[in-house]
Amino acid sequence: MRNIELEKLDGLVGEWTTTMSDAWFIEPPGIKVPGKTTVELLGESFLVVRTELGERTDHSEMTIVIGRSDPNDAYVALYQDDRGVCRQYAMTFDGGHWTMTREDPDLHQRFVADVEKDRILGRWEASEDEGKTWRKDFDLTFERA
């Protein structure tokens, strides 16, 4: 049986053209890194988000598995990339706004996005002082393929 709360994420399912831009760590400024993202169901209670980016990044393959903790009434996202990094994020999604956040000892991080039917405009941000100040890591734009 399909998880009802996960059905709210059905608009994310599909193929997306992905662009990373305005990344502080990519020189020269203004570089846009093309990529692609696939979002698909895994069973009845998970979504898998797979992103591949072109050159100029220190990691080019990322996977996020989104699930739900029904007793806690909360989405959970597990992230991994080709550097061997593994992270857990708390997630919210209300149809028009999508966030993923983590508050770990090494770094606080968040993804904030506005979601439209065929486009998602998001950005990753980081804080090295436990969320007092934030810097943008990069923008991510997803357009339905």
Give me the pLDDT at residue 59, please: 67
Q: What is the pTM for the complete model shown?
A: 0.92
Integer-rounded Cα radius of gyration of the chain: 15
Query: What pLDDT, in 10s, does the model give residues 90-108?
Result: 999 999 999 999 999 989 9
Helix (H) or strand (E) holding 7: helix 4-7
Q: Which domains does the chain have, with CATH numbers?
A: 4-144 (2.40.128.20)
φ, ψ for residue 22, nearest 5 deg: 55, 40
Give me the pLDDT at residue 57, please: 64
Residue 1: pLDDT band with limits 50, 70, 90? confident
CA angle 48, 142, 66 (to 5 degrees): 20
Rounded to whole angstroms, the Cα distance separating 67 from 8 reads 12
Task: Tell me: pLDDT of 85 over 90.
Answer: yes
Q: Which residues contact 28 (CB under 8 A, 6 or more apart)?
A: none
